[in-house]
Amino acid sequence: MTVTIPAAGPGTTRIDTRTANPVLDVVIPACNEETDLEPCVRRLHAHLAATLPYRFRITVADNASTDTTLQVAERLAREFAEVEVRHLDLKDRGRALNAVWSTSDAPVVAYMDVDLSTDLAALGPLVAPLISGHSDVAIGARLAVEHLVSLGRRRIATVAGPQDQTAAVHRLSGWRKTLADAGLESSGLAEEADFTLDGGREAMDRLLAREPELDAVFVASDVMAAGVLQSLGAAGRRVPADVAVVGFDDHPALATAMNPPLTTVHLDPAAQVRQMVATLTALLAGEPIRPRRQVLPVSLKLRESA
Query: Nearest to residue 244, comparing CAs of 115, 163, 144?
Result: 144
Whether residue 144 sits in one domain with residue 234: yes
Listed range (67-76, 91-100, 206-215) with the worst mean pLDDT: 91-100
Q: What single DSSP character describes residue 220?
A: S
Quote the crossing angle between the two packed helices 93-101 and 166-181, to the nearest 10°.
20
Whether residue 118 sits in one domain with residue 169: no
What is the mean predicted confidence (pLDDT) over 273-282? 58
Q: Please report which helix (H) or strand (E) contains residue 63, including its range.
A: strand 56-63
Whether residue 115 sits in one domain with residue 24: yes
Whether residue 239 sits in one domain with residue 128: no
What is the mean predicted confidence (pLDDT) over 246-270? 88
Quote the CA–CA distance of 31 and 28 in Å, as a whole number.
Answer: 10
Does some domain include residue 57?
A: yes
Is the pLDDT confidence value at 179 over 70? yes
CATH code for the domain in which residue 71 is found: 3.90.550.10
Last residue of a domain, one of 88, 114, 132: 132
Cis previous bond, 269, omega within 30: no
Whether residue 116 sits in one domain with residue 81: yes
Question: How much is the pLDDT for 2?
Answer: 40
Q: How confident is the model at residue 17 (pLDDT cuts 50, 70, 90)?
A: confident
Q: How confident is the model at residue 299 (pLDDT cuts 50, 70, 90)?
A: confident
Quote the CA–CA distance of 131 and 90 in Å, as a whole number.
Answer: 33
Q: pLDDT tens digits for 151-172?
A: 999 999 999 999 887 778 878 8
Does some domain include residue 304?
A: no
What is the mean predicted confidence (pLDDT) over 143-147? 89
Pairing of β 298-301 and β 2-4: unpaired
45 versus 164: which is more confidently predicted? 45
Whether residue 145 sits in one domain with residue 128: no
Is the pLDDT confidence value at 8 over 60? no
Does some domain include residue 299?
A: no
Is the pLDDT confidence value at 290 over 60? no
Q: Please report which helix (H) or strand (E) contains residue 83, including its range.
A: strand 83-88
Q: How confident is the model at residue 24 (pLDDT cuts 50, 70, 90)?
A: confident
What is the mean predicted confidence (pLDDT) over 190-199? 95
Q: Is 193 exposed, middle or buried (0-12, 13-18, 19+ CB in 10 A)?
A: buried
Amino acid at 92: D
Does some domain include residue 161?
A: yes
Question: How much is the pLDDT for 78?
Answer: 96
Contact 268, 296 (CB under 8 A): yes
Whether residue 149 sits in one domain with residue 109: no
Query: Nearest to residue 51, comparing CAs of 126, 1, 101, 110?
Result: 126
Listed range (16-25, 248-257, 284-293) with the worst mean pLDDT: 284-293
Q: How confident is the model at residue 129 (pLDDT cuts 50, 70, 90)?
A: low
Whether residue 144 sits in one domain with residue 117: no
Listed range (42-46, 80-84, 193-197, 297-301) with the worst mean pLDDT: 297-301
Does some domain include residue 282?
A: no
Q: What single DSSP character describes residue 306?
A: -
Is the pLDDT confidence value at 4 over 90? no
The per-residue pLDDT of the chain, averaged, comes to 83
200 versus 277: which is more confidently predicted? 200
Does some domain include residue 156?
A: yes
Does some domain include residue 163?
A: yes
Stated length of the chain: 306
Last residue of a domain, one of 85, 111, 132: 132
What is the mean predicted confidence (pLDDT) over 98-124? 76
Question: How much is the pLDDT for 140?
Answer: 77
Whether residue 192 sits in one domain with residue 128: no
For the chain, how many structural domains are there in total? 2
Task: Select the highest-mean-pLDDT range: 22-26, 265-269, 278-282, 288-292.
Answer: 22-26
Does some domain include residue 293?
A: no
Whether residue 101 sits in one domain with residue 20: yes
* Contact residues for 217 (Cβ-Cβ < 8 A; gap 6+): 156, 157, 158, 159, 204, 207, 228, 243, 244, 245, 246
Q: Please report which helix (H) or strand (E) contains residue 41, including its range.
A: helix 37-51
Last residue of a domain, one of 132, 159, 188: 132
Whether residue 66 sits in one domain with residue 104: yes
CATH code for the domain in which residue 240 is found: 3.40.50.2300
Whether residue 176 sits in one domain with residue 70: no
Question: How much is the pLDDT for 289?
Answer: 53
Is the pLDDT confidence value at 202 over 50? yes
Domain encompassing residue 56: 2-132
Question: How much is the pLDDT for 268?
Answer: 61
